[in-house]
Structure formats: C-alpha cells, structure tokens
C-alpha cells in the first residue's frame, strides 16, 4: 500500500537552496530580437518629430526633400542610420516567411531599373564610405560594404542580377518602397517592397489606383485631400523630390505591423497600463519621400519608418507636451482608424506632467 502524499505545511520554511536563490528576473517587455533597434541619444536627437502645431489637422504637409541640416534625417533624399544592417536582416526574415511582401507587375520592369539606378546613385554619392558604383557603359559594379555585397551586372539585363532589379536593391535600402505607374490621368500602385507597413498590405493593394489605395482613411476624402494630393504628385519633376510626414502609434518596437501579421500584434493594444505605457507605446513616424523616375516617368514612394518609445520621446519635454496636445484634439474617427482608442487616454495621462500651460 502506497503512503499518502505529504501536504505542504502552511508555515513551513522554504528549502535552504530556494531561500538563498536570487529573485526571478522579470521577462523583458521588448522582444530581445527587436531590442537591437533601441535608439541611441543620436537617434533621438535626429528623430523626425512630425508636429508643427498643438492641434491635429489632416493636411498633405508636403515639403521639398533632402534639404535638412547636416546629420539630420532629411539631409539626403534617402536616409540611412545605425540600424541599416539590422533592418535589412529583419527584411530578409520577413521575406523568407512571406515572399509576397515583394511584388512587381510585368509592365514595371523599366520602373525597376530606374529605381535601382536612383538608389545606387544616391547611396554611393551621399554615403561613399559604405557604397560605391562604377560604370563602364552598361557594365556596372555595385558594392555595399555594410552588407558585404559586390556585384557586376549589365544594366537593363535582369539575368545578370541575382534577383529582379527592385527586389535586389530594396533588400539593401532602408524603408518600404512602392512604385507607382502614371497612366490614364491616375497613379497606380504596381510594384513594391513592403516588409514594415503600418496595418496595410501590398498583396491586397497591388494594382489599385491612388484613391482606391487610400480608401479606408476617414474624413480626408470628404475634404478633397487625396484629389489635391494626386494632382500635386503628378506634377513632381525628376531631381525635385518632395516629402511628407505620416504618423501613428505602435505597441513595442515592432517594425512589421502588416495586415498579414495582425493576429500577432493586434491584441497588444489591450495590454497598455499606466505602469508600462512609457516603455511599450511608440510613436511611429513615416517620412515619405516621392521622387519622379527619369526614364519610366513613374513615381517612387519611399516610406522611411522611425520608432521612438514614450520613455525616449519624453527626454525632450517640448515634444512630450506637443504630442499630448495633439492627441487631445485628435478626432475620434482618426483615432479609431489609427487604432489608438484603447490606450489614447492612458498616453495623455502619462504625458500630463509635461503640460505647463504655456
């Protein structure tokens, strides 16, 4: 007959080894593999804070690109920073899991070569310590020393590259990239590399017109924002790119907030508390750069994303005050569209100590 199990005594002393053991280390709030994107003091200082006033307003907010101060995020058309290698490694991981994050319709091959040429020219001119491009007729040699890539290929002959031209170059270029074809007095999203979008999907939007693509945005259609924006974009000339800001918020330092991954990140919005809001809520800013392509006459759309946690952002009290005021004036339909309703008030309360009434 087996002895009955021994029940623990209510006030029994813990075993010696257990009593001497250090307290368990709490699990980190930020995924370790994404913590490599944590911002340095330099990253914070050059962060593209998007608000010029205290009130929210939906505007096109276009300005000329590449005219910022030395060292700023908009010194050059295409900004790179210390996260370049980490971002490209993460892109490879996303593409390995979901190859449809890169797509190009067959008629976009000239646009692809235009884009490859533009990125190679700009990177090698603006960051010669990292990139070089040499040309002998159509025989080109490209070197990306950050990623250890060097290829010689024939411009215009895709069989001489390891991948399609747009796929090849945007695996080496920070940000998401969309190619728009201009025809029938409209702009059509007909190619792109989209691994870090904020709740949208290239696989869903590919082939849509400009206004179809922006269909879900509330209030702006009624105000005629997209009609005016499209007319402006179709007048952009080569060598005169423009840029604009877009913003939302993301929980955690999550780059891939695509529609395809909603089942992974959507529930994060329910986890915000007064205790973790500073660490978990991130302001997500897109610097969108729009150059005209020279040969195909298409329009390139770079979506260069930057993330900053509230803990990092509040190191600049003026930013904290302004963000709070903008959130207080944010219309409910826009807050719902951006997915902020569940935690917006928690963010406003967290930033209250920075309100000085001035």
Domain annotation covers residue 7? no
Give the number of domains in the chain. 1
**pLDDT at residue 36, rounded to an integer:** 80
**pLDDT at residue 62, rounded to an integer:** 86
* Helical spans, DSSP H, in the chain: 16-20, 41-45, 84-97, 109-126, 165-170, 202-205, 210-213, 225-233, 262-265, 277-280, 310-313, 317-328, 332-338, 344-350
Domain annotation covers residue 216? yes
pLDDT-derived band of residue 150, with 50, 70 and 90 as boundaries? very high
Domain annotation covers residue 29? no
Please indicate whether residue 244 is annotated as part of the active site: yes
pLDDT-derived band of residue 168, with 50, 70 and 90 as boundaries? very high
Candidate list 36, 91, 244, 253, residue with the active-site label: 244
Residue 32 has pLDDT above 80, yes or no: no
207 vs 34, which has greater pLDDT? 207
Strand-pair partners of 198: 257
> Do the strands 281-290 and 299-309 form a parallel or antiparallel pair, or are they unpaired?
antiparallel
Residue 3 has pLDDT above 50, yes or no: no
Range(s) of the domain holding residue 54: 41-353
What's the rounded mean pLDDT across residues 48-72? 89
Domain annotation covers residue 13? no
- Other residues' Cβ atoms within 10 Å of the Cβ of residue 267: 10
Give percent above pLDDT 70 in the chain: 88
- Cα separation, 250 vs 271, whole angstroms: 12
**pLDDT at residue 358, rounded to an integer:** 87
Domain annotation covers residue 71? yes
Q: Could you tell me the pTM of the whole model? A: 0.87
Phi, psi dihedral angles at 333 (to 5 degrees):
-60, -35
User: Is residue 330 within 8 Å of residue 322, measured between CB atoms?
Assistant: no
Domain annotation covers residue 8? no
What's the rounded mean pLDDT across residues 234-258? 94
Compute the mean pLDDT over every residue in the chain, rounded to the nearest whole number. 89
Fill in the DSSP letter of residue 292.
B
Domain annotation covers residue 145? yes
């Amino acid at each position: 007959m087996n002895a009955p199990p021994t029940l623990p005594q209510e006030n029994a002393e813990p075993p010696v080894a257990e009593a001497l053991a250090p307290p368990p280390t709490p699990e980190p709030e930020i995924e370790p593999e994404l913590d490599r994107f944590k911002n340095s003091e330099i990253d914070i200082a050059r962060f593209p804070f998007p608000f010029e006033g205290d009130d929210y307003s939906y505007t096109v907010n276009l300005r000329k690109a590449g005219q910022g101060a030395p060292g700023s995020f908009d010194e050059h058309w295409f900004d790179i920073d210390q996260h370049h290698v980490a971002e490209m490694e993460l892109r490879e991981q996303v593409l390995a899991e979901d190859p449809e994050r890169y797509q190009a319709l067959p008629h976009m091959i000239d646009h692809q070569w235009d884009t490859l040429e533009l990125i190679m020219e700009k990177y090698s001119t603006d960051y010669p310590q990292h990139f070089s491009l040499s040309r002998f007729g159509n025989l080109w040699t490209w070197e990306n020393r950050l990623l250890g890539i060097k290829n010689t290929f024939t411009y215009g002959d895709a069989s001489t590259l390891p991948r399609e031209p747009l796929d090849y170059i945007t695996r080496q270029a920070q940000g998401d990239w969309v190619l728009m074809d201009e025809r029938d007095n409209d702009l059509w999203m007909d190619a792109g590399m989209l691994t870090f979008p904020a709740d949208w999907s290239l696989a869903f939007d590919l082939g849509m017109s400009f206004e179809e693509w922006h269909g879900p945005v509330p209030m702006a259609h009624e105000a005629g924002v997209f009609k005016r924006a499209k007319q402006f974009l179709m007048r952009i000339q080569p060598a005169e790119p423009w840029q604009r800001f877009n913003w939302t918020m993301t929980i955690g330092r999550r780059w891939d907030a695509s529609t395809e991954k909603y089942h992974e990140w959507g529930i994060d919005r329910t986890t915000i508390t007064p205790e973790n809001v500073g660490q978990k809520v991130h302001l997500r800013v897109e610097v969108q750069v729009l150059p005209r392509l020279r040969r195909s006459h298409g329009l390139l759309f770079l979506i260069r994303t930057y993330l900053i946690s509230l803990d990092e952002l509040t190191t600049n009290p003026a930013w904290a005050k302004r963000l709070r005021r903008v959130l207080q004036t944010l219309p409910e339909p826009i807050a719902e569209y951006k997915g902020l309703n569940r935690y917006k008030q928690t963010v406003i309360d967290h930033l209250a100590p920075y309100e000085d009434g001035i």
